[in-house]
Structure 1
């Protein structure tokens, strides 16, 4: 299943235009979709004289002939050079990484376009990480590649990281950000072992997959692995879809001591996605029609919706976290600038008034629990999981 977060995020990011940042993305999208007339309309008068529709077409054709077709945006960097703002999109083409620099002037017009080779992204260790405090070793979870970070000081605590939607790697890499690597290193710097591994759908592109095959079976195997390594206090930490499923897994395994839910959706996922599309002003009628039919149980089970058959979405409803949280020790965290799992879901949890649930909302944090605006482009900014989130998780584990 490849859609929900990743496809909605990166396709919709390119149609969301109002600020300087969004004008730059809109211009880039015009190039990618070969809508050169649209790109011309976004250009300054000087730029129009220098770069006609025909010249733009020739440049883009030459770029794709040399480097292969455009595939995705990997990173966004913003450089201020008053009166100009330069947006540098590190972009993956089939055969190379290129920086596409788009200059916006004070009149909100595109005043420059430049292509240059880009360096492969190198992960930077967050300041809160103490690399001398732990070791990292390779491990397999049902033949899926993974890593286990183990504190040098003896500990009984261990955490399993459960991915959000999409074909995620073990680091839950989104743009230049590595959410799970940050969390693993942050927790292991605080004497907590962490197991993370590639998600099954990174390798298995199966529209007929179930949530048990996609997520649950591998988490249960990860629990066995940690138990066999003599960790007696095992916690599940789920992000987004992983947070939606984690309470169910904690109910069917007697070896789970507590759960940490980062941005857990609690409404039916089709409602959550429809809200995302509305926020992003994505008016894809075909997708919206299918989601509404899905919501009303009117879609045939074999009909494909966002990369998975309808029966996958129908099946997901059985795992709603509200059905499995009673009596569970749980830490539930939200970011106020999260446009994917929003305050609607946060308020539902708050209204439960369950004293065993510790619920917290972080100001200024996105769906990735990084500092950023409520915008898809925030995911393309190089950042790290906020240190206060790491500290809150450490505190919860130590208290339980």
Structure 2
């Protein structure tokens, strides 16, 4: 039976499919279209793309006039994380920032589409007087462990391990270590803050609402930006919300899987497509997020937070997320700000579509970089 989900222009044909590529560059197979329709694209920022060659971007640092140290430290149970610690040349106990990447296996630079956002960010912050730690995700790059099957809790343990590592360093002020999380990293940082005590947090395109709510908005926004009609968008969002109700029921995962399978089968989803969706949503990562409410951790955190959004972000909606975030943050120095004309990566954009990320030369708007360092200096 024909799929009820729209085979929209969100996915563009690709003569060389590659599982490591971002979803917006993959060939639109039925399974992938279904995956998108059920929100598989949510927050996903795929890792380095091996078979593309990119020229250096204008913001890539050529010279780095500060201390650079390759490090390894303990993450969650049995995991050794590899990364890079950069510090000012000056002596003293430095304020420090741990960078937490978005979804998908990421290297320490959060590299994608020829851009290295975390390298650019760490360069700016280190030049501004801060120590910065960035690391390869578990099971990726030079870090050990397995990325597949890891959940929010595992990634929070890894971030907490990074915090403990910095706290042990004499060059770091143990009372001035904070997290900066991008995209899904905005979920991970508050979860890690329940394990350790960061002095501050910065979120760049970090969600404030539950995963499945973010998913529904993202799917609708991208479909609309690609020119889909409102009837198709409404149908897809309705189906997402119906699936959300199934996933949210407090029953064993086996029963959730059975109920979701019945729902998908009744709507004509073919067996192979059902299998992919079931594995995603009832697997460790998807099932934890299907039942996770970030408001609990955000409300419990009492130190300063800077939450930044791009006005044209189609992956984490500023219209939906910013008001919720403002209502959750507790500290009087916390700020929630939306930058006009910027996308999910904080690049200047016309449409906000992920397909434009690689075409834009700017890696991160200088205004955003300045705002982060300026806010930190005022703490």
Query: TM-score under structure 1 normalisation?
Result: 0.65
- What is the deviation of 1:244? 2.0
Q: Is 1:378 matched up with 2:320?
A: no
Map of 1:225 onto structure 2 = 165
- What is the deviation of 1:380? 2.0
SS state of the match for residue 243, structure 1? helix
For residues 172 and 14 of structure 1, what CA distance do their matches in structure 2 show?
28
Question: 186, 211, 216: which one pairs with 1:274?
Answer: 216
Of structures 1 and 2, the one scoring higher in RCO (CA 8 A, sep 6+) is 2
Over residues 63-97 of structure 1, what are the superposed CA-to-partner deviations in whole Å (9 max), with x where a residue is unaligned?
A: xxxxxx5327979xxxxxxxxxxxxx9999xxxxx
Larger strand percent: 1
SS state of the match for residue 167, structure 2? helix
Question: 293, 305, 308: which one pairs with 2:243?
Answer: 293
Larger deviation, residues 160-169 vs 198-207: 198-207
Q: Is 1:247 matched up with 2:190?
A: yes
Q: Is 1:139 matched up with 2:59?
A: no
- What is the deviation of 1:257? 1.4
- What is the deviation of 1:357? 1.4
Q: Within 5 Å, which residues of 2 pair with 1:195-206?
A: 195-200=133-138, 202=140, 204-206=146-148
Map of 2:9 onto structure 1 = 15
Q: Within 5 Å, which residues of 2 pair with 1:359-378?
A: 359-372=336-349, 373-378=351-356
Ranges in structure 2 where 5+ consecutive residues have no aligned partner: 1-5, 28-50, 75-79, 258-278
Over residues 313-355 of structure 1, what are the superposed CA-to-partner deviations in whole Å (9 max), with x where a residue is unaligned?
A: 2453267543323x22111111101111111101222345853
For residues 7 and 166 of structure 2, what CA distance do their matches in structure 1 show?
39
- What is the deviation of 1:234? 0.7
| Conserved 8 A contact 2:205-2:307 | yes
Map of 2:272 onto structure 1 = none
Question: 281, 300, 306: which one pairs with 1:331?
Answer: 306
Shift in CA distance, 306/317, structure 1 to aligned 2, threshold 3 Å: same
SS state of the match for residue 123, structure 2? helix
For residues 257 and 144 of structure 1, what CA distance do their matches in structure 2 show?
22
Q: Within 5 Å, which residues of 2 pair with 1:292-371?
A: 292-296=242-246, 297-298=248-249, 301-302=253-254, 303=257, 304-305=279-280, 308-309=283-284, 310-317=286-293, 320-325=296-301, 327-342=302-317, 343-351=319-327, 355-371=332-348
SS state of the match for residue 238, structure 1? strand
Map of 2:88 onto structure 1 = 151
Q: Within 5 Å, which residues of 2 pair with 1:62-141?
A: 69-71=16-18, 120-124=53-57, 126=59, 131-141=63-73
- What is the deviation of 1:270? 0.8
| Conserved 8 A contact 1:271-1:295 | no
Which structure would you say has the larger Rg?
Answer: 1
| Conserved 8 A contact 2:102-2:185 | yes
Shift in CA distance, 275/90, structure 1 to aligned 2, threshold 3 Å: closer
Q: Is 1:262 matched up with 2:262?
A: no
SS state of the match for residue 368, structure 2? helix
Shift in CA distance, 286/204, structure 1 to aligned 2, threshold 3 Å: farther
SS state of the match for residue 272, structure 1? helix
For residues 362 and 224 of structure 1, what CA distance do their matches in structure 2 show?
33
| Conserved 8 A contact 1:291-1:305 | no
Shift in CA distance, 318/237, structure 1 to aligned 2, threshold 3 Å: closer
For residues 248 and 219 of structure 1, what CA distance do their matches in structure 2 show?
9
Query: TM-score under structure 2 normalisation?
Result: 0.68
| Conserved 8 A contact 1:150-1:188 | yes
- What is the deviation of 1:268? 1.1
RMSD of aligned C-alpha atoms?
Answer: 3.5
